[in-house]
């Protein structure tokens, strides 16, 4: 099956500041970083590799068209033609244009769970969280594609909703990966869910800040966001530890009554 050659984009989407869009990973499943032993255990068959090439070609064509033509204006037929596949072939891999857009979120979830599981066993949960944020951010940011996808999600509500539709599924997988590292975990233990939610929120804040700041080194942006998080959490702890003005006055009155 011949795959259509991709044209180079000369124009992009002007980013719009919106309050509710996501950045999902732009990594393809075939390019996710895995440990050598993991790669040896899961080498894909020739047929699986061919299918992945077609899937990647469709995804590449779609992203280019969404940027150049617009998400709402691009049809399944447009994507199939640009990818060099038939309409029927498109529907073998994706049920719709929205389904295609949401698959990027699942790839993002795969990169997150891989990063959590790849951390050394000696790492604390806090170290795993920080390492995952840094690793996934650095994997996703190289090249212009991440900014393009963020621009698509920022501009087109339907594309954004397609991404968000799979986010709960991703969080469940990430929580499961963290649960594997929690010792003596019991039913209802909140740590995996808290860590998964915190990881997703921190990465979302990192990508959004990086997107709007035009910063090239996303590792620096991740450091800024993590420092802000430390300040907020530590500040909250200090505030909780310090008695309020009303409680101080009440304690003073009690002491006076005792004396």
**Tens digit of pLDDT for each residue in 95-140?**
999 999 888 888 889 999 999 999 999 999 999 999 999 999 988 7
**Tens digit of pLDDT for each residue in 149-162?**
888 988 999 999 99
Q: Looking at residue 253, what is its pLDDT?
A: 53
Number of domains in the chain: 1
Separation of alpha carbons 77 and 90, rounded Å? 9
Within 10 angstroms of residue 42's Cβ, the number of other Cβ atoms is 8
Is it the case that residue 144 has pLDDT exceeding 50? yes
Within a domain: 3: no
Encode 9-76 in three state secondary structure.
CCCCCCCCCCCCCCCCCCCCHHHCCCCHHHHHHCCCCHHHHHHHHHHHHHHHHHHHHHHHCCCCCCCH
Within a domain: 251: yes
Within a domain: 249: yes
Separation of alpha carbons 176 and 217, rounded Å? 30
Separation of alpha carbons 154 and 132, rounded Å? 25
Which pLDDT band, with edges at 50, 70 and 90, does 185 fall under?
confident
Q: Is-contact 35 41, C-beta < 8 A?
A: no
Between CA 109 and CA 116, with CA 110 as vertex, the angle to 5 degrees is 90
Query: Does the global pTM surpass 0.75?
Result: no
**Tens digit of pLDDT for each residue in 224-244?**
999 999 988 876 555 444 444
Within a domain: 88: yes
Instruction: Single out the residue of 178, 200, 27, 10 nearest to residue 104, CA to CA.
Output: 27
Within a domain: 123: yes
Which pLDDT band, with edges at 50, 70 and 90, does 251 fall under?
low
Supply the range of the domain harboring residue 210: 29-258
Within a domain: 206: yes
Within a domain: 5: no
Is it the case that residue 187 has pLDDT exceeding 90? no
The enclosing domain of 45 has a CATH number of 1.10.357.10
Is it the case that residue 29 has pLDDT exceeding 90? no
Q: Is-contact 155 91, C-beta < 8 A?
A: no
Within a domain: 1: no
């Amino acid at each position: 099956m011949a795959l259509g050659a991709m044209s180079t984009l000369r124009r992009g989407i002007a980013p719009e500041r919106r309050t509710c869009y996501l950045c999902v990973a732009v990594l393809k499943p075939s390019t996710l970083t895995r440990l050598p032993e993991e790669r040896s255990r899961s080498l894909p068959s020739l047929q699986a590799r061919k299918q992945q090439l077609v899937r990647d070609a469709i995804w590449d064509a779609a992203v280019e068209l969404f940027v150049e033509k617009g998400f709402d204006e691009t049809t399944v037929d447009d994507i199939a033609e640009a990818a060099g596949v038939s309409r029927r072939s498109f529907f073998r891999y994706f049920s719709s244009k929205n389904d295609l857009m949401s698959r990027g979120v699942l790839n993002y979830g795969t990169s997150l769970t891989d990063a959590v599981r790849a951390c050394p066993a000696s790492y604390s949960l806090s170290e795993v969280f920080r390492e995952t944020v840094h690793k996934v951010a650095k994997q996703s940011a190289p090249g212009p594609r991440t900014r393009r996808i963020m621009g698509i999600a920022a501009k087109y509500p339907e594309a954004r909703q397609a991404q968000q539709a799979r986010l709960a599924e991703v969080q469940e997988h990430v929580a499961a990966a963290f649960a594997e590292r929690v010792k003596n975990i019991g039913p209802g233990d909140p740590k995996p869910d808290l860590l998964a939610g915190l990881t997703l929120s921190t990465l979302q804040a990192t990508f959004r800040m990086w997107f709007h700041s035009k910063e090239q080194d996303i590792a620096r942006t991740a450091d800024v966001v993590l420092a802000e998080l430390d300040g907020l959490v530590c500040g909250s702890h200090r505030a909780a530890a310090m008695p309020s003005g009303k409680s101080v006055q009440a304690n003073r009155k009690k002491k006076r009554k005792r004396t």
